[in-house]
Amino acid sequence: MPLAERLAAWLTGRREPDLGHLPIEGHLPEFDGLTGWFNSEPLTRDTLKGRVVLVDFWTHSCVNCQRTLAYLNAWHEAYSPLGLVIIGVHTPEFDFEKDAESLRRAIEVAGIRYPVAADNDYALWNAYGNRYWPAHYFADHAGNLRHHQFGESGHEQGEAVIRSLLAEAGAKPTFPSVSGQITENTDFRRIKSPETYLGFNRMEYLGSPETVRPGVTRHFSGVPHPAKNVFYLEGLWEMDDEWAAPAEPGATLAMRFDAARVFIVAVGPNDGATAELTIDGEPPLRQLGADAVNENGRAIITFRDGRLYRLFDAGSDYGERTLCLTFREPGTRLYALTFG
């Protein structure tokens, strides 16, 4: 970045990260083994020659991925006219995310206009040796991988990489970076509860004393005072490798968490199923998540499509609370609780 531009950026309070030299980390893998494309015909390395490429590994029920989409959409709008191609590689974490129609709906809801490739068989995931959602891989106009980063942080650095690689290709942006214009309402330092998987394979945080096995339906006794960051079941529940499902009306899931928002990944039956939400024993009628409604003074969530459901939103009011979901009908498959 020339001295005059560095001075102008400093004066306007928008310094770009000092990237130094971006080494060659490898070469852009071919886009083989994918199971579908959205917003684009199938792309190849040859069709991408001369373009700067950002490959984003994501999955549509992941709240961490969803929070990055605003940045990806902004980068696509700002930089695609200058030669950037963003490819969202959708590699499902759960089996239900392999459904093409569910992915199509998620793309539409998120307002994604860049190409999305379905990687149901993990072909491209394995070609990159990737292990994370979200994950960004940046390639220059010659097809060399020059940078990678994982997780939700580092948006300003990621945009600086894009700008640097576009400049190498001869298309230096003449406008300020756009990442700083996006409002982030999550304070990650204050989220004190981990992502909590509810299926047998990754059931680290079950606090109920009963022994569980996949493929078995059993009764859980619950506990009167949940400990922090473990979940408890009460009533009859069915267990699977990926999910837990209430098997009778009145079955409950409880967890004491430390955050401001609660989300759950779930799939309801085709005709829908409902659950009643309480926080510290009361319906949070003034802090309902986007998927909860006030039904005659009760906080109700209807589960149907396989996706991330927003249960509770306290804005900037972080703290410890106890969540309880009481299911009116059986059959909702619950995969993970996440927090914001």
Tell which residue, 22, 5, 23, has the closest CA to residue 14: 5
Mean pLDDT in residue range 224-252: 96
Domain stop point among 181, 213, 248? 181
Would the pLDDT of 6 be above 50?
Answer: no
Question: What's the maximum distance between 2 C-alpha atoms anywhere in the chain?
Answer: 70
Please check whether residues 100 and 214 belong to one and the same domain: no
Please check whether residues 171 and 249 belong to one and the same domain: no
How many percent of the chain have pLDDT more than 70? 94
CB contact set of 136 (below 8 Å; sequence gap of 6+): 54, 55, 56, 57, 148, 149, 150, 158
Mean pLDDT in residue range 122-146: 98
The pLDDT assigned to 1 comes to 33
Please check whether residues 140 and 218 belong to one and the same domain: no
Give the integer Cα–Cα distance in Å for 115 and 107. Answer: 10
Which residue would you say has higher pLDDT here, 290 or 18? 290
CB atoms within 10 A of CB 233: 26
Residue 56: give the domain boundaries: 3-181
Helix orientation angle between 155-168 and 63-79, rounded to the nearest 10 degrees: 30
Pairing of strands 298-303, 273-279: antiparallel
Tell which residue, 175, 10, 155, has the closest CA to residue 82: 175
Residues 74-130 have pLDDT tens digits of: 999 999 999 999 999 999 999 999 999 999 999 999 999 999 999 999 999 999 999
What is the 8-class DSSP label of residue 291?
A: T
Tell me, what CATH number does 291's domain have? 2.60.120.260
Would the pLDDT of 12 be above 50?
Answer: no
In the numeric block, which tokens belong to residue 293? 């409604």
The pLDDT assigned to 225 comes to 85
Please check whether residues 207 and 166 belong to one and the same domain: no
State the total domains in the chain. 2
Residues 217-232 have pLDDT tens digits of: 999 998 888 899 999 9
Confidence band, pLDDT 50/70/90 cuts, at residue 184:
confident
- Cis peptide bond prior to 226, omega within 30° of 0: no
Please check whether residues 141 and 247 belong to one and the same domain: no
Mean pLDDT in residue range 14-39: 85
